[in-house]
Copies of this chain bind each other. A is one copy, B any other.
Amino acid sequence: MSNFEVIKQDKISSARIGRLITEQGVVQTPCFMPVATNGTVKALSSEELKEIGVEIIIANAYHLSQRPGVKIIQEAGGLHRFMNWDGVLATDSGGFQIFSLENVKIKDDRAIFHSLEDGREQSLTPEESIRIQERLGANLLMTLDYCPRRWDDQKEISRSTEVTIRWAKQCRQVEISPRKWLFAIIQGGISLECRSECTRALTQLDFDGYAIGGLSLGEPFCETLRVVRLVTQQIPWKKPRYFMGLGYPWQILAMVSSGVDIFDCALPTHIARNGSAITSQGKINIKAGRYRSQFQPLDPNCECFVCRRYTRAYLRHLFNRKEILGLRLVSYHNLYLMQRFMERIRQAISSGNFTEFSQQAKKEYNNRLSPKTND
């Protein structure tokens, strides 16, 4: 029996704190899910994720079904045991990944595509996607959606909305354990009409939660926000809302303020492998020459083991020599920082000063973090 408790709502914004009570444990929201596409959060161990305080991660059912295959993971006793993760586990259906392949064909009841592994033609129905996720042992499952490739192709967006609704219905009819969460993914690009239509149709199907997909694809951030504000108003208040694929702290603040509860993003570990650290003073790239002899931590305000024990100069040296330890340590720091950031958000909402916190935090983790944005 899925159970989401909204514990407190902010008086000024739509921000709220909640608890997602799952068969595998409780997740406090707003939360950030590190991405474990292949059943591993890149460069980090499951032990480190626990140490950092991560309560939930998200793996990718499509990728895992390709390699090592569902059968092996089932034989291992499920993905939790396979990857030695005892926290809550979400899986994405893989719609986003399938639609990024070449030559995807959309039939009414399935997607047809060519395997990246061996080029063979494969197909995936919404029902199969759910069954795969259940066999993997996920606690939180996602419907198969049609994620348009571009945010500004209205024709594809209309079609993706229509298909996404139809597939969500197919997913809804699959019988899964009532102890698992099934989230529907809302598509519709930046068209408020499509988003409304999709949200209305999916909420009528009464899913356990709702994800907002197909954003963060390059559209202006003000459009992203407009869509999220519309959608979160239409999703029943008691249902958790999940924004797929975000992001930087200042972006998360804007979304929390609009009532989003759950986030995921490969960004903190992705940029870490390139030497970029998220800090309370903005983003820094540790490979830059100016860090050569800076003997302070990556982030002087951070208490992670990396910041307590290693200097910028050492981290720069490791990157300079292409030493794996460098990207390990920065990945750890970035995820630690994201977890502490979400904690701070929850505390601020809890103590009724989210707006002040938000203004302050935007200054700290400031826009240098994402120079491309126009918000």
Interface set of A (CB-CB < 8 Å, partner B)? 38-40, 42-47, 67-68, 72, 75-77, 82-84, 292-293, 295, 305, 309-311, 313-314, 316-318, 320-321, 323-325, 327-329
Q: How far is the CB of A58 from chain B (nearest CB, A)?
A: 16
Could you say which residues of chain B place their CB within 8 Å of the CB of A309?
A: 46-47, 84
Q: Is the CB–CB distance between A72 and B292 below 8 Å?
A: yes
Chain B residues within 8 Å of A316, by CB: 68
Are A317's CB and B38's CB within 8 A?
A: yes
CB distance from A136 to the nearest CB of B (A): 13
Given that A43-B325, A45-B328 are known contacts, is A83 also in contact with B305, CB under 8 Å in the complex? Answer: no
Asked if residues A320 and B84 are in contact (CB atoms below 8 Å), the reply is no
Whole-angstrom CA separation of A3 from B263 in the bound complex: 58
Which residues does chain B contribute within 8 Å of A39, judged by CB atoms?
Answer: 314, 317
Given contacts A82-B313, A314-B76, A317-B68, contact A43 B328 (CB under 8 A): yes
A–B pairs, 25, beta carbons within 8 Å: A38-B317, A39-B314, A39-B317, A40-B318, A43-B324, A44-B325, A45-B328, A45-B329, A46-B309, A47-B305, A47-B309, A67-B317, A67-B321, A68-B292, A68-B313, A68-B316, A72-B292, A72-B293, A72-B317, A76-B293, A76-B311, A82-B313, A83-B314, A84-B309, A84-B314
Q: How far is the CB of A147 from chain B (nearest CB, A)?
A: 22
> Which chain B residues lie closer than 8 Å to A43 at the CB level?
324-325, 328
